[in-house]
Amino acid sequence: MHLSDAFAVFLVWEQYDATSAAVEREANALVSLYNIGRALPQAAGAPLKSDVVNYARAAVNDEWPQMARARASDATANALLQLTRFERDTQVPAARDEILYAQAVEHIEALNAFRRLRLQASRGQIPRPMWVLLLGGGLFMVGFTAIFGVKNARLHYVLTALLAMGLGFTLFIILALDTPYTGSFAITAEPFETALEMFAANP
C-alpha cells in the first residue's frame, strides 16, 4: 500500500467514524427533545413531541434511502423546518419552563448540525482526481511487479497476485467507507429506529 492509499484510508475512516458518531448524537438529541416535550405543558409539549416523531420517521423512511444515492430528503428537511419554528412560535408561560425551552432550542440547533454532517458524508470525501491517482498507482505497482523479472517464476506470480489482491482489498475498503450508507459497512438508521420505539412506548 503506497502513501496515497494510506492517506485515503485515514481520510475515509476519520469521516466514517465522525459520521457514525453524529448519527448517534442526532438520535440522542431527538430523545432529549421528546423528553422535554413530555415535561413541558401540553400546549407546547404535544406539538414538539409530534414534530420530533415526524422528523425521526422521515429520516428513517425517506432520508436514509435517499442518502444511499447521495441525496437529501425534502420530507426530513420540512420536518426539521417545523422543529426550528418551535423557538419562534412557542410561548413559555412559566419561569420554571424557561430552562426546558432553552435546552430544546439547543437540541434543535444540534439536530441541524448533525444532519448536515451526515448528508455531507453521503457525497463522499475522495475527489475524482484522488481516485485516478489511487487506481493508476495501483495498476502501476502491479504492472511494474509483473514485469520485474526474478529467477523463481512461480514465486513471482504468487507475489504479484498477492500484491494485486492487497491493493484491490484496500481500494474496496476505501470505497466502502467513502459511501457510508451503502454496502456491507453501511451506517444504518438503527439509532433512530430505537428512538421511535421509545417514543411509541412513552406517548
| 137 in any annotated domain | no
Tell me the one-letter amino acid at 38: R
The CA distance from 28 to 42, in Å, is 22
Question: CB-based burial of residue 178 (10 Å sphere; 0-12 exposed, 13-18 middle, 19+ buried)?
Answer: buried
Single-letter amino acid code for the residue at 34: Y
Find the domain containing 62 and state its range.
20-125+188-201
50 backbone dihedrals φ, ψ, rounded to 5°:
-60, -40
Is 12 among the domain residues?
no
How far apart are the C-alpha atoms of 72 and 119, rounded to whole Å?
A: 7
Residuewise pLDDT in 10s, the chain (203 residues)? 555 566 666 677 778 888 999 999 999 999 999 999 999 988 888 999 999 999 999 999 999 999 999 899 999 999 999 999 887 777 766 667 788 888 999 999 999 999 999 998 888 766 565 555 556 566 556 565 656 666 666 765 666 666 667 676 766 776 666 678 888 788 999 999 999 999 999 98
Instruction: Say how far apart CA 44 and CA 53 lie, in whole Å.
Output: 15
Q: Which residues of 138-148 are buried (b: 16+ CB within 10 A; e: fewer)?
A: beebbeebeee
| Domain-embedded: residue 146 | no
Q: Domain for residue 13, yes or no?
A: no
- pTM of the entire structure? 0.77
Residue 135 lies in a domain: no
81 is a domain residue: yes
Residue 2 lies in a domain: no
Number of domains in the chain: 1
CB within 8 A of 93, min separation 6: which ones? 41
